[in-house]
Structures are given as C-alpha cells and as structure tokens.
Amino acid sequence: LVDGSYVYKKGSDSMFWGKAQLLHKVPATESEALSTGLVSMWGKRGLRNFLVYIKDFDPANKASWKSFDPNTQTAAELFAKFSLDDDTVDFVGHAMALQDSDSYLTQPAIKLIDAVKLYATSLAAHSKSPYLYPVYGLSGLPEAFSRVCSVRGGIFMLHHDVDEILFQDGKVAGVRVGEQAATAPVVISDPSYAPKDRVQASGRIVRTIALLNHPVEQVKTVKSAQIIIPQKQIGRAHDVYMTVLSDQHNVVDK
C-alpha cells in the first residue's frame, strides 16, 4: 500500500505565511473536503456536495441523478452544477479521476463519475490510500500473473524468442516460435515484435528514476506517496506522475 495521495498546486512564498504549501493531500471524503487547503473557503461546500453526489449516484436509480443526465451532459456541466472553481476542477479531474489531460471535460459526465467512484472505492478498501505498489518492485507483477495463469491452465514457453506474429484475414491469429505456433485472438507485445505497417505511434511516455538521500519536501511524514502534478500547474500538455518509494516496499536498503 502506498501511504498517501498528493497533488501539486502552484503557490508562492509569502512574508506573512512563510513557505508555500505546494503538495496537498487529495481529499476523498466530505470531512476532508471541508479541511483541505486545495480549495478556497467559499469552494469547500461545493466540493463536499459534489462528493456526496458522487457517493449517492446510482446509474440504475434516476432519482439519484438530481435532474442531471450524465450520459448526455458533459463533465464540465457537472462541475458547473456544483459551482466548482478552476482549481477544484483541476485536482478532482486529475488527482481523483486520474485524467491526464482536459479532454474529458467535453465528454459525457458518466466517465468522470465512474472514475471518481473507483478512486473512492479503492480508498475505502485500503483506508490510507487508493494506490498499491508491489513489494520488491514492478517485477512482482509478471510473477503474480504467471502464477495465476498457471493455476488457470495457462501454458508458458520459456527461453524462446517469438519469430513472427501470425495474421489471418487481416486479424491477429497468434505467434510462431520456430516450427511451433500458438493461436490466440489477442496478442500483447512490445511494438518491436510487430510488422512495421502494423505499428502506429500514439504518443510517448518519458520516465525518470531519481535516487534520493532524503525525504521529499512537504511529504516527510510518509514513507511512500503518489504525487500528481496537473498539466495546468506547470504549463504542460499532460500530467506528471511521481511515485515515491522507500524500504517500505523493499526497493532500497533500510
């Protein structure tokens, strides 16, 4: 379990208030919404009402929709219904709904509602944070997948290189390894395995690993954290995600 979820909000140091608080815990309950420093005093009640609406929303019960159709009205219209200001919209959309750009604002609000509900459900399941990270690092994920796959009848071909991805009638049909072939309706692979005419670049992800000899400023009270920097706060086209880890997850020495 990752200890906490935080969002970056641009701020300036003040001679009266001292060093600006740049990282804020993401509120996910009505009580946290009323105490967070992310939202102005006037906007906290609107945020609380928004979270109550999300919690009570039931797609099968139109009475819970409160005269709002999430299938035809947009996420921007839902935010406007609760008079949420730009800063509140920014952290709800990016730090709770985990949207990496603002394109979701023009899409049906049901997608936003489902995403925020998922965040709240995950938080309720794990109490401190909605985020999980495998002990000993990401290599634990393929190991866990392998175990589950074996239990459910999956077959592994170890120490073999894939020579070709097979196609039939224009659709993927499996892979060839030497003289053997394995059929499958779906093939998940690195793009380097696919024919060049089947590869289309849709974007790029920049990854950086930083080794620190000190805690991250303003989140010193936790040993791990998920930090989200919304695009607007730093003038980028997409968000920046930071996962802070420690010996808690056995990725470094104590």
| Look-up of token digits 């499996």 | 174
Contact at 8 Å (CB) between 2 and 225?
yes
Number of CB atoms found within 10 A of residue 77's CB: 16
CA 7 to mean position of chain CA atoms = 12
What's the sign of the alpha-carbon dihedral 246, 247, 252, 254?
positive
CA angle 49/50/56 to nearest 5° reads 85
- Note the pLDDT of residue 29: 65
Q: What is the pLDDT of residue 215?
A: 85
Give the per-residue SS3 of 185-215: CCCCCCHHHCCHHHCCCCCCCCCCCCCCCCC
Sheet containing 225-229: which strands, arranged edge to edge?
Answer: 23-25, 4-8, 225-229, 240-244
Residue 240, strand partner residues: 229
Amino acid identity for residue 150 in this structure: S
**Any bridge partners for residue 241, and if so which?**
228
Largest CA distance in the chain: 75
The model carries a pTM of 0.75
Instruction: Give me the tens of pLDDT residue by residue for the chain, a chain 254 residues long.
Output: 788 788 887 765 444 434 566 788 887 666 776 777 777 777 888 888 999 999 999 999 999 999 999 999 999 999 999 999 888 898 899 989 999 889 999 999 999 999 999 988 888 888 778 888 888 888 888 888 889 988 998 877 778 888 999 999 989 999 999 988 889 999 988 888 888 888 888 888 889 999 888 888 888 888 898 999 888 888 888 889 999 999 988 888 88
**What's the CA gap between 158 and 137, in Å, rounded?**
22
Which tokens go with 165? 């991805």
Element (H, E) at 44: helix 44-56
- Total length of the chain: 254
Residue 240's alpha-carbon distances to 95, 121, 208, 226, 243, in angstroms, are 11, 23, 11, 11, 10
CA 220 to CA 146: how far, in whole Å?
Answer: 36
Where residue 169 falls (left for φ over 0; alpha for ψ -120 to 50; beta otherwise) is left
Residue 174 has a pLDDT of 93
Residue that the structure tokens 């794990």 belong to? 126
In the chain the first and final C-alpha atoms are separated, in Å, by 18
Closest C-alpha among 112, 113, 110, 94 to residue 102:
94
